[in-house]
Amino acid sequence: MVKEQRTKWWGCDRALFKYSQNSGNSGRSGFIKNACLLLHNQTTSMGIFERDTDIYRDRDALREDYQPEELVGRDEELRAYQTALQPVINAEQPNNIFLYGKTGVGKTAATRYLLSHLKEDVKQYEDIDFNLVFLNCDGLISSYQIATRLVNELRDDSNQISTTGYPRSSVYEMLWEELDELGGTVLVVLDEVDHVQDDSILYQLPRARANGNLSSTKIGIIGISNDFSFRDDLSPKVKSSLCEQEIHFPAYDADDLQKILTQRATVAFYDDVLDDAVIPLCAAYGAKDAGDARQSIDLLMKTGDIARDDNSEIVTEEHVERGRRNLERGRIEEGINGLTQHGHLVLYALLTLDLEQETPVRSRDIRPRYSLFAERAGRDPLVPRRMRDHLSELAMLGLISVTERNEGRRGGTYREYDMDMSPELILSALDDVLNDVGVHESVKQHLISDTESEETTALTDFS
C-alpha cells in the first residue's frame, strides 16, 4: 500500500510541477510550484530501495555459514567427538577421526563448532602449538589434487605450486616439509572426502609420522563423508588408520529439527511474525527429506522470503507450501542436471519400479530394468559396482532413499532403495531420457503434457 501511494504521489508531483512551470511563480501557481518542489525533494530523497523491517530481524541467521552459539539435537555425537579430540589438549598424538552420515545431519557444523572451541581452549596451555587446516574435497578427485591443495594452503601466496606437472612423490615431499616446518599439533579436516577416487593420501597422511615422513609435527586427520558406502570401499590398511575413531551422525527427527528451527527463528525473525504451524511444518518436511537440517532451514528462509515479497505481516502455512514447491523443483533440476546419462538411466529405472509398487528394492533387482533402458538408449550397461555408485550418488543428492538391512549370517547385509521425490518433478527433469528410452507405461499418468495422445512405451516393448 505504501509503495502504491508513493507511485501515485510521484505522478501527481510531476503533473503539478509541470503545471506550475507553465503558470509562472505568482499567486496560486507559485504556491503550487513551491509545494511541488518540496514534495519532489522529499520523495527523491527516499530513494527507490528501502530496508525491509517487517519480517526479518537478522536473515543471515538462516544462512549456511551462520554458527550458532550452541548445537542442538547432537548431544551424544558431540560428547563422542569431544572425547576423540581430547588428546590434542593433552599434548598427545591426535586421533584420526572419521565422521559419516547423510547430508545436512550436522557433521560439518559439529566440526566447526568443536574446533572453534578447541582453538580457544589450547591457548591456555603453553606446551601446545595448535594449527588447523580445513579443506573441502568437492571437485577434488585424486590424492595428487588434495596434496597440492594442502601444500598451497600451508604456503604463502607468493610461493604457490602448480596443480599439475610434479611427480606425486615430489608433492608429498613438499607436503611433509611444510607440515614439519609448521610443527606442533596439526589437524587436517577433509570435508566431503568421499569425492576422492584413490585412497593414497588417506593412507599417507594418518601414517606420516609412523612412516618417518614427519619428525616434529603431530598430525591428525578428520575425514567427513556423506556416502555410507565410501567407508566400506576403503582398503583395509586405510580403514584401520583413517577410521581410528568413527562417529555416525544419524538423521534428525522432527523434534530435533523443531529445536534447530526454533533456535534459528528466534534470531532471524521478529517476535510474533511466524504462525504457530510454520516451524512444525518445516520440521516435518525436513524429517521426511531424510532428516536434513539444512533443507529445513532453507525452507524456513524461502518461506520468509515469499511472505516478505507478498508484503505479508505474518508468515503462514501457505507460504511454507509455496516455498517447498519452489525449493524442491530447483533442487531436483540442479541435482539431475549434474548427473551423467547413466545416472539418469538408473534413476528412471528405479522410478518405474517405484510406480509399479516394487520398491523398496535391492540393486540386483534394479539392474535388469536399468540394463534394458541403457540398451534402448544405445549405451552399454555399466558393471554392477558402477551402477551402485550411481545409486549412492542419487541418495547423497536426496533424490532417492537408502536403507541398510542386516539379516545375519544367512541373509547378510545389503541396501534397499526407494524413491524420495515426486514423480512429476523427477520426470520434468528427465526429458532427454524419455526421448532416448521412451515413455514407460508406468509414468504416463505422471507426465505434465498438454496432449492426451502422447505415445507411450509399454514394458513389453523394452524386451
Q: How many domains does the chain have?
A: 4
Q: How confident is the model at residue 449 (pLDDT cuts 50, 70, 90)?
A: low
Residues 97, 241 within the same domain: yes
pLDDT tens for each residue of 227-248: 877 877 888 888 887 778 899 9
Dist. CA 441–CA 420, nearest whole Å: 20
pLDDT above 70: percentage of residues in the chain: 86
Whether 11 has a pLDDT exceeding 50, the answer reads no
Whether 38 has a pLDDT exceeding 80, the answer reads no
Residues 327, 400 within the same domain: no
User: What residues make up the domain containing 275?
Assistant: 59-63+252-335
Closest by alpha carbon to 394, among 414, 422, 421, 354?
A: 421
Q: How confident is the model at residue 131 (pLDDT cuts 50, 70, 90)?
A: very high
Mean pLDDT computed over every residue of the chain: 85
Helix axis angle for 317-337 and 293-309, nearest 10°, is 120
Of 320, 335, 350, the one marking the end of a domain is 335
Dist. CA 11–CA 302, nearest whole Å: 34
Closest by alpha carbon to 457, among 447, 444, 448?
A: 444
Contact indicator for 317, 277 with CB cutoff of 8 Å: yes
User: Any idea what the CATH number is for the domain that residue 364 is in?
Assistant: 1.10.10.10
Asked whether residue 317 is assigned to any structural domain, the reply reads yes
User: Any idea what the CATH number is for the domain that residue 283 is in?
Assistant: 1.10.8.60
Q: How confident is the model at residue 37 (pLDDT cuts 50, 70, 90)?
A: low
Residues 219, 101 within the same domain: yes
Asked whether residue 85 is assigned to any structural domain, the reply reads yes
List of residues 6+ apart from 278 with CB closer than 8 A: 300, 303, 315, 316, 317, 319, 320
Stretch 341-370: mean pLDDT, rounded? 95
Residues 281, 136 within the same domain: no
Q: What local confidence, expressed as pLDDT, does residue 151 receive?
A: 95
Of 307, 335, 363, the one marking the end of a domain is 335
Dist. CA 231–CA 220, nearest whole Å: 18
Residues 41, 107 within the same domain: no
Residues 35, 179 within the same domain: no
pTM of the model: 0.68
User: Any idea what the CATH number is for the domain that residue 159 is in?
Assistant: 3.40.50.300
Contact indicator for 348, 308 with CB cutoff of 8 Å: no
Dist. CA 134–CA 193, nearest whole Å: 12
Contact indicator for 323, 331 with CB cutoff of 8 Å: no
Q: Phi/psi at 65 (nearest 5 deg)?
A: -85, 5
Of 294, 313, 335, the one marking the end of a domain is 335
How many Cβ atoms from other residues are within 10 Å of residue 306's Cβ? Answer: 19
Parallel, antiparallel, or unpaired for β 97-100 and 245-248?
parallel
Stretch 447-458: mean pLDDT, rounded? 50
Residues 395, 444 within the same domain: yes
Residues 95, 244 within the same domain: yes
Residues 205, 346 within the same domain: no
Asked whether residue 54 is assigned to any structural domain, the reply reads no
List of residues 6+ apart from 400 with CB closer than 8 A: 347, 350, 391, 394, 417, 418, 419, 420, 421
Dist. CA 20–CA 234, nearest whole Å: 83
Terminal CA-CA length for the chain: 63
Residues 243, 262 within the same domain: no
Residues 147, 273 within the same domain: no
Residues 348, 362 within the same domain: yes
By CB atoms closer than 10 A (0-12, 13-18, 19+), residue 78 is middle
Asked whether residue 24 is assigned to any structural domain, the reply reads yes
Asked whether residue 387 is assigned to any structural domain, the reply reads yes
Highest-scoring range by mean pLDDT, 54-68, 222-236, 403-417:
54-68
